[in-house]
Structure 1
Amino acid sequence: MSQLTLVIPVFNEGAPLTDNVRAIREAVARIPEHRFQFLLVDDGSTDDSFIHLSAIRDTYADVSVLRLTRNFGKEAAIQAGLEHVDEASDAVIVMDADMQHPPALIPGMVALWNSGIDVVEAEKIRRQSESAISRWMAEVFYRIFFLLTGMDIRNQSDFKLLDRRVLDFYRNLHERERFFRGMIHWGGFPLARLTFEVSPRRHGNSRWSRFKLWRYSISAITSFSSAPLHFITILGALTFVVSIIFSAKALYDKFSGVALGGFTTVILLQLFIGSTLMISLGLLGIYVARIHDEVKRRPSYIVDWRVNSQKSASDENKRAQQDEVDDRHQQDLEQKG
């Protein structure tokens, strides 16, 4: 019987966690041919989420809880969960705790995995509560990301099933700043997609402000493309061409005796060149900042507390007892020898 682990990042979800986890358990209960474990990652919640997570862990024998020291962000929470998945797991499912990723999709994802697919992605076809400007911003991001990287991740989500070899591939990547969707897509593993509509949140509001989404977008693009750096060369070439044109015009006016007084041309050139230099320095700054973050080699997250599922703890005790028996048996053989 294969084992799958559900990795569920949690941040300030509060009391609805109990009902949400119950709903997810009901969905996986329809797949009796597989065994499921749950790893709930508390990403530094500041409300009572950890209390509810502890209660859930005490209620169900197959639930483990991982708590980070502070809010490191969703990408770090996903990374922490995937790096703490039991070695016995044959696949993992990553999903949100707020029920916007429908648990009803899990049986279909597992069925596709059973057929030999390594990655099963849940793709958003419509977000009911999303505003027009948010949809427009998302579309612009997807287009730019595809233009610069060649990877089409339009409407993809973090709701994914990953085979064990995909999980091992992700764990072996060493970069600190991560973009989960892009990294899995970049791996090029056989994949299939299921579609879903994003339901309204049952509790609270989204923690993603437009500013955070903007920073996340910049991080995602610069993680997978150096094309913005090449824009500097293009801007430099354009500046050179424009400078030649302005210079030729200025020389023509001077030798024709029609040169106008004032510094209009000089000012325009200075503004154009200055703006180009500022854009170039800004792009360089983004990449230098990424290099700075990588060379520091700081951990992406810090685990504050972990409690394994009761079943995992029982298995560990059995292994410890077996190891003790084996040691005693080895000692007896050595004494007889």
Structure 2
Amino acid sequence: MLSVVIPAYNEEEMIPKTSQTIDKILKEAGIEHELLFINDGSKDNTWTVIEDEASKNPLVKGVCFSRNFGKESAIFAGLYESKGDCAVVIDCDLQHPPEKIVEMYRLWEQGYEIVEGVKASRGKESGLHRFAAKSFYNIMTDAVGFDMSRASDFKLLDRKAVNVLLNMNEKNAFFRALSSWIGFKSTEVEYDVREREAGISKWSTRALIKYAVTNISSFTSAPLQIVTLLGVLVFGLGLYSIIEALIRYFMGTAKEGFTTVIILQCLTSSAIMLGLGIIGFYISKIYEEVKGRPKFIIDRTTYEK
């Protein structure tokens, strides 16, 4: 059986369309399946619509969080509740083409344990958003050691791979990177990102920045190296200033005043404060991890557990 995990946040307009579209495609392909909608603390009627769909179709199941925990937590909750021999994660807005699920499933039947959905195109994006996304994935590519420039959450995982992910105790787990990092026999399926059919994107600029910072810090210590780099740069600048000052002193052309001293103090202080800020951010993440709080809290479901 195939479990389809569908995180949903304020998607009341898309739930019926998504449910019916995916269900129809999988039935026509003769694939036994279940559809797991994870309501990530939505503020609209998403949960009510999920309950309505579940009452109409026994293959539809719903899980409701006690509050908003974020997309990563919704994905892991769906994997935890899934019963299939394999599971596919897909966005509720249908920007991931659902017909590709069949292609992924056939590859799984051939023995592949992870089938990655990779973007052939990213759809319509602003130049700034495209640049930010490219920068983020360049950092992640360096961190994990493989190309993540076209990576997405749209992928199929064998039950073995699902169990490995669920056994990881990281609170700030980055599904997109971890599912590739764990290895196993993998292949790719290309797709074009589609336009949203209804509703609006739930990703604000602030949310995207927070998402990027959280996932970079959870998967790589690269930002900590900025502290070392800043130290080297400030040291180099200070050494240059010292040499220049000595040369001017012996040549009798030394400048009066404290301009150079003030500049050096400002640069040094800025570098120190930035370094402490980065270190402090990592310490806060360590603090969150050692508290051992759960990734998510399930309030209720549409089925008996």
Same fold judged by TM-score > 0.5?
yes
Contact 1:30 1:107 in 2 (8 A): no
Q: Say if 2:20 is the partner of 1:22.
A: yes
Aligned twin of 1:6: 4
Contact 2:19 2:35 in 1 (8 A): no
Distance 2:214 2:246 in 1: 46
Distance 1:182 1:150 in 2: 10
Aligned twin of 1:195: 190
Q: Which amino acid aligns with 2:231?
A: G
Q: Which amino acid aligns with 1:51?
A: T
Contact 2:138 2:148 in 1 (8 A): no
Q: Say if 2:75 is the partner of 1:78.
A: yes
Distance 1:154 1:30 in 2: 33
Q: Which amino acid aligns with 1:293?
A: E
Q: 1:125 aligns with which of 115, 120, 124?
A: 120
Contact 2:7 2:71 in 1 (8 A): yes
- Offset at 1:233? 2.1
Q: 2:257 aligns with which of 262, 265, 270?
A: 262
Contact 1:18 1:56 in 2 (8 A): yes
Distance 1:24 1:157 in 2: 19
Tell me whether 278-287 or 129-138 shows the greater mean CA deviation: 129-138
Q: Say if 2:66 is the partner of 1:69.
A: yes
Number of residues paired by the alignment? 305
- Offset at 1:148? 4.0
Any idea what SS the aligned residue of 1:120 has? strand
Q: 2:46 aligns with which of 25, 46, 49?
A: 49
In structure 1, the gaps of 5 or more residues are 317-337
Any idea what SS the aligned residue of 2:273 has? helix
Identity of aligned residues (%): 37
Distance 2:282 2:178 in 1: 18
Any idea what SS the aligned residue of 1:97 has? coil
- Offset at 1:115? 0.9
Contact 2:144 2:181 in 1 (8 A): no
In structure 2, the gaps of 5 or more residues are none
Matches within 5 A, 1:1-337: 3-32=1-30, 34-86=31-83, 89-308=84-303
With structure 2 as the length reference, what TM-score do the two structures score? 0.95
Tell me whether 271-280 or 243-252 shows the greater mean CA deviation: 243-252
Runs of 4+ that moved beyond 4 A = none
Q: RMSD in angstroms over aligned alpha carbons? A: 1.6
Distance 1:16 1:78 in 2: 18
- Offset at 1:186? 1.0
Deviations along 1:175-218, one digit per CA (max 9) or x if unpaired, are 10111101111112221111111111111111111111111111
Any idea what SS the aligned residue of 1:195 has? strand
Any idea what SS the aligned residue of 2:115 has? strand
Distance 2:206 2:182 in 1: 29
- Offset at 1:66? 0.6
Aligned twin of 1:325: none
Any idea what SS the aligned residue of 1:231 has? helix
- Offset at 1:53? 0.7
Larger radius of gyration: 1
With structure 1 as the length reference, what TM-score do the two structures score? 0.86
Tell me whether 156-165 or 226-235 shows the greater mean CA deviation: 226-235
Q: 1:149–1:232: structure 2 CA closer, same or farther, 3 Å change rule?
A: farther
